[in-house]
Amino acid sequence: MMKLLHLTLFLLIAIENAANANGARHHHSPKKPKTHKNPRKLSHAYAPSPTPTPTPTPTYPPSIPSDPSRDPTQPDDNTNTTCIFDVTEFGAVGDGSNDDTAAFRSAWKAACQVENSVVLAPSGLVFMITSTIFSGPCQPGLVLQVDGVLMPPDGPDCWPESDSHQQWLVFYRLDDMTLTGTGTIEGNGQKWWDLPCKPHKLIRFFMSNNLVVTGLRIQNSPKFHMKFDGCEGVLIDKLSISSPKLSPNTDGIHIEDTKSVGIYNSVIANGDDCISIGQGCSDVDIEAVTCGPSHGISIGSLGVHNSRACVSNITVRNAFIKESDNGLRIKTWQGGTGSVSGISFENIQMENVRNCVIIDQYYCLTKACRNETSAVYLSDVTFRNVKGTYDVRSPPIHFACSDSVACTNITMSEVELLPYEGVLVDDPFCWNAYGVQETLTIPPIDCLLDGMPQSLTENSLYGC
Ligand SMILES: *[C@@H]1O[C@H](CO)[C@@H](O)[C@H](O)[C@H]1NC(C)=O
Ligand SMILES: *[C@@H]1O[C@H](CO)[C@@H](O)[C@H](O)[C@H]1NC(C)=O
Ligand SMILES: *[C@@H]1O[C@H](CO)[C@@H](O)[C@H](O)[C@H]1NC(C)=O
Ligand SMILES: *[C@@H]1O[C@H](CO)[C@@H](O)[C@H](O)[C@H]1NC(C)=O
């Protein structure tokens, strides 16, 4: 599988090199972008990039030219040169008001038949399309390249009655597919945020494998910006996701039932979780991501309605989390089963974050949840080199483990958190949490329990 991922990445780079003379994708904003206070400490031998990516401005850079002399509906004779299916050659207008859905569907349908082909939404144009399922199976190597702007109709009043209100762009049953470009996917979320109803996710990948999403700016989603479910092999690189701080449920990247995921070199600012990891995820590697404002990086919520959740082997390294309601969070409902294990947070810089490090096994939206006797079992969770400042409105460290199922093997090493401003809140909280401190934690915690709980059952409820 990793071989395929590498192959996909190689193909992507090859396509970009061949086609994209304008390599610049990030433009410095006039304001100097914030960098890590201590880049040296955050750098890591395996770090793809030791500093966070600068925030790009919402400009739409020029892109690759296409070859107008070629009939786009016909594949090239030369089977392994890249075939470009430019949506404007399929009737897309790109003036921001014409409905270009049919053109995108036709271009996709044609490209789907051809190996290594590119559906191109060229730069300088704004394409409006309605809710669309881009489905496969397609020939391998298919690329959707958005160099212009792609957006849904502006708000619920313009949303076609017959369209799904749950989702906008769906990529379904694809293998070896790339979504890339120097352009912007604009969610037009503003008019949905004020509504009581749950609006749609912007981009969803469903039951697809070996996916690459890179380079794009994705903004103002009505709900989650991107969701992956039922996927295996996902590489996300150099994304910029942004929505206002006060936009509800606008999670940056949400994954569930998804395995082998890499999220790298991305900058996410939004109104909910920066990255959220739901049930059924394993082998997830997150590195060089900047979050904030946001609700931090979250595993969960898991175990809702007494469900079983299995999450394992999640690594977050070299992240910068700022101005966020949470930093690193694991949240589970009472009454769930299954386990969360092998979680490692390493080299994390915090700036003005509430609940920097939090395990909450009593997650409840109504505050009226019953006490239950089972829980998703948490074990082997490491916080290493987590430093920076917290918002004093919440204690920086909080481990509320289940009454009935203790958390075990929590490792704290070089965790040093100081108030961003105001008075030190040094009352870290632990309930039923077992683990070790390899170095002295700041603020000091003396509530972690030694060893293993006596009652820890080899209970099949908690196996995965
Ligand atoms: C192009 O395809 C042919 C036949 O499939 C293959 O022999 C050749 O090596 C390919 N060339 C490149 C550059 O991949
Ligand atoms: C954990 O996940 C990484 C990818 O993030 C993978 O390379 C590694 O093999 C996994 N480890 C185990 C023990 O499965
Ligand atoms: C749940 O348990 C806690 C702690 O034992 C107790 O304080 C609380 O009253 C219980 N809640 C309910 C609804 O039984
Ligand atoms: C504790 O967790 C670490 C990784 O987080 C793991 O390497 C170690 O084997 C675990 N120890 C026990 C006793 O399970």
* Spatial distance between the Cα atoms of 412 and 212, rounded to a whole number of angstroms: 34
Q: Which ligand is nearest to the CA of 316?
A: 2
Give the per-residue pLDDT at 426. 73
The answer on pLDDT for 340 being more than 50 is yes
For the CA of 315, the closest atom of ligand 2 is 5
- As given in the structure block, the two tokens for residue 298 are 């979250």
* Spatial distance between the Cα atoms of 84 and 47, rounded to a whole number of angstroms: 34
Residue 198: count other Cβ atoms within 10 Å of its Cβ: 13
The answer on pLDDT for 198 being more than 90 is no
pLDDT more than 90, % of the chain:
72
What does DSSP assign to residue 203? E
CA distance to 74, 103, 107, 134, 402, per residue, from 92 (Å)? 18, 5, 10, 16, 55
More confident residue, 53 or 164: 164
Q: Which residues contact 191 (CB under 8 A, 6 or more apart)?
A: 154, 155, 156, 157
Dist. CA 11 → ligand 1 center (Å): 13
Give the per-residue pLDDT at 79. 54
Enclosing H/E stretch for 193? helix 190-193
Give the per-residue pLDDT at 435. 98
Mean residue pLDDT of the chain comes to 85
- As given in the structure block, the two tokens for residue 280 are 């059924």
* Spatial distance between the Cα atoms of 340 and 407, rounded to a whole number of angstroms: 10
Q: What is the pTM of this model?
A: 0.82
Give the per-residue pLDDT at 80. 56
- One of 26, 36, 225, 295 is an active-site residue; which one? 295
Dist. CA 109 → ligand 1 center (Å): 24
The answer on pLDDT for 232 being more than 50 is yes
The answer on pLDDT for 42 being more than 50 is no
Q: How many CA atoms lie within 13 A of 4 on its CB side?
A: 16
Ligand 1 atom 12 nearest Cα: 80
Q: Which of 22-36, 42-56, 214-228 has the highest mean pLDDT?
A: 214-228
Q: Is 165 a catalytic residue?
A: no
The answer on pLDDT for 11 being more than 80 is no
Q: What would the pLDDT profile of 47-88 be if each residue is shown by its tens digit?
A: 344 444 444 433 333 344 444 444 545 544 555 567 999 999
Question: What single letter denotes the amino acid at residue 401?
Answer: C
Q: What would the pLDDT profile of 84-135 be if each residue is shown by its tens digit?
A: 999 999 999 999 999 999 999 999 999 999 999 999 999 999 999 999 999 9
pLDDT more than 70, % of the chain:
82
Q: Which ligand is nearest to the CA of 76?
A: 1
Where does the pLDDT of residue 27 fall: very low under 50, low under 70, confident under 90, or very high at 90 and above?
A: very low
Where does the pLDDT of residue 169 fall: very low under 50, low under 70, confident under 90, or very high at 90 and above?
A: very high
Dist. CA 276 → ligand 3 center (Å): 29
The answer on pLDDT for 319 being more than 60 is yes
Contacts 24+ apart (CB under 8 A), 152-160: 152/128, 152/187, 152/188, 152/202, 153/128, 153/188, 154/188, 154/191, 155/188, 155/190, 155/191, 155/192, 156/191, 156/192, 156/195, 156/199, 157/191, 159/130, 160/130, 160/131
* Spatial distance between the Cα atoms of 102 and 73, rounded to a whole number of angstroms: 15
For the CA of 80, the closest atom of ligand 1 is 1
Residue 316's φ and ψ, nearest 5 degrees, are -120, 120
- 209-214 and 167-172 strand pairing: unpaired
* Spatial distance between the Cα atoms of 242 and 268, rounded to a whole number of angstroms: 6
For the CA of 382, the closest atom of ligand 4 is 5
Dist. CA 137 → ligand 4 center (Å): 41
373 CB less than 6 Å from ligand 3?
no
Q: Is 272 a catalytic residue?
A: yes
* Spatial distance between the Cα atoms of 151 and 174, rounded to a whole number of angstroms: 22
Ligand 2 atom 9 nearest Cα: 283
